[in-house]
Amino acid sequence: MEIRNKTQISEFLLLGFSEEPELQPLLFGLFLFIYLLTIFGNLLIILATITDSHLHTPMYLFLSNLSIIDICFISTTTPKMLVNIQTQSKAISYAGCLTQMYFFMLFAALDDILLAVMAYDRFVAICHPLHYVVIMNPQLCVLLLLVPWTISLLNSFLESLLVLQLSFCTHLKIPHFFCELKQMVQLACSDTFINDVVMNFVTGLLGVGPLAGILLSYSKIASSIHAISSAQGKYKAFSTCASHLSVVSLFYCSSLGVYFSPAVSHSTYSGAPASVMYTMVTPMLNPFLYSLRNKDIKRALKRFFGR
């Protein structure tokens, strides 16, 4: 009976944002604009770091990787959503839903951990400036990129494997614009105890762990900046991490707001608009927060386009 329940599922329905027909063109135009702007902005960051030798440093290595992850992150969910809005269809295949869920978890975890890695980089640069080159050597930088990829791949594989064991035997409607792990587990008609335990453990580990690292790094940074005697020195030290701090605040405030808001957990449609903040708006704003506040990137882009 369990096997029959698993095999009869062919597709899920993504309820999205609204069923009002007059809102569909507006939603399509808005999300297409956000998607194209995100791709364009992050490609500029990648282009600047590749073409300018002055930006071949650990800080910009991590920043360019964040831009690549952000492009992949938003591309996991937005194109399918745009197709569904344009075709007036809410369907996504079972295989497509699992694939989307896998890559969404992968890039969300990468985004999360890489922000902690970038916070550590700023900690070393400000608190140990004389030893920065020695500490942030190429071997450590490669390791700091390989570890997040390894953890994220293993987590996505494990969570997806557990979902494959579930039975879905009802008319499946996901109150979201993408296939989210928690929503899929809630729709299962088989026992989800193991899924819930693993999901809560991983959420705590990958959520609290990197955030604790970021807070620890910035507490040390704040102490070092406070010890600087001149106001100009304090401003220069703070300006090197202001962009990253803005990105961290935007990502964590929006994502934590989604998962801990009572309104989101009880309303069919309220979760989808709230999730737009960290799945679409944050990747869109990241490159502009860095480029607008970063003289090196602006200088690199001027050199490139000046050619």
Q: How far apart are CA 80 and CA 91, in angstroms?
A: 10
| pLDDT at residue number 155 | 95
Q: What is the CA radius of gyration of the chain?
A: 21
Cβ within 8 Å of residue 53, ≥6 positions away? none
Q: Which residue has the tokens 């390989």?
A: 146
Spatial distance between the Cα atoms of 3 and 197, rounded to a whole number of angstroms = 23
Domain ranges across the chain: 2-306
pLDDT on residue 220: 92
Contacts 24+ apart (CB under 8 A), 17-22: 17/177, 17/269, 17/272, 17/273, 18/269
Q: What pTM was estimated for this model as a whole?
A: 0.89
Q: From CA 129, how far away is CA 284, in angstroms rounded?
A: 31
pLDDT at 264 (0 to 100) = 46
CATH architecture of 2-306: Up-down Bundle (1.20)
What whole-number distance in Å separates Cα of residue 97 and Cα of residue 108? 16
In which residue are the tokens 């930006």 written?
Answer: 55
What pLDDT, on the 0 to 100 scale, is given for residue 3? 41
The token pair that represents 287 in the structure block: 């490159």
For residues 92 and 12, the answer to whether their CB atoms sit within 8 Å is yes
Round to whole Å and give the CA distance between 161 and 185. 12
How far is CA 196 from each of CA 92, 145, 163, rounded to the nearest angstrom? 24, 29, 11
Rounded Cα distance between 22 and 18, Å, is 10
Residue whose C-alpha is closest to residue 115's, from 69, 46, 55, 53: 69
Q: CA 297 → CA 94, 115, 238, distances in Å?
A: 42, 19, 17
Distance CA 38, CA 279 (A): 11
What letter represents residue 303's amino acid? Answer: R
Q: What is the pLDDT, as a whole number, of residue 143?
A: 96
Average pLDDT per block of 10 residues along the chain, 307 residues long? 50 83 89 95 92 90 94 95 91 93 95 93 91 94 96 96 88 85 88 91 88 92 84 75 81 71 49 78 86 78 78
Distance CA 209, CA 283 (A): 21
How far apart CA 252 and CA 259 sit, in angstroms, is 11
Return d(Cα 271, Cα 261) in angstroms, integer: 9
Quick one: how far is CA 260 from the chain centroid? 17
- The closest of 37, 43, 174, 151 to 100, measured between CA atoms, is 174
| Residue 204: predicted pLDDT | 84
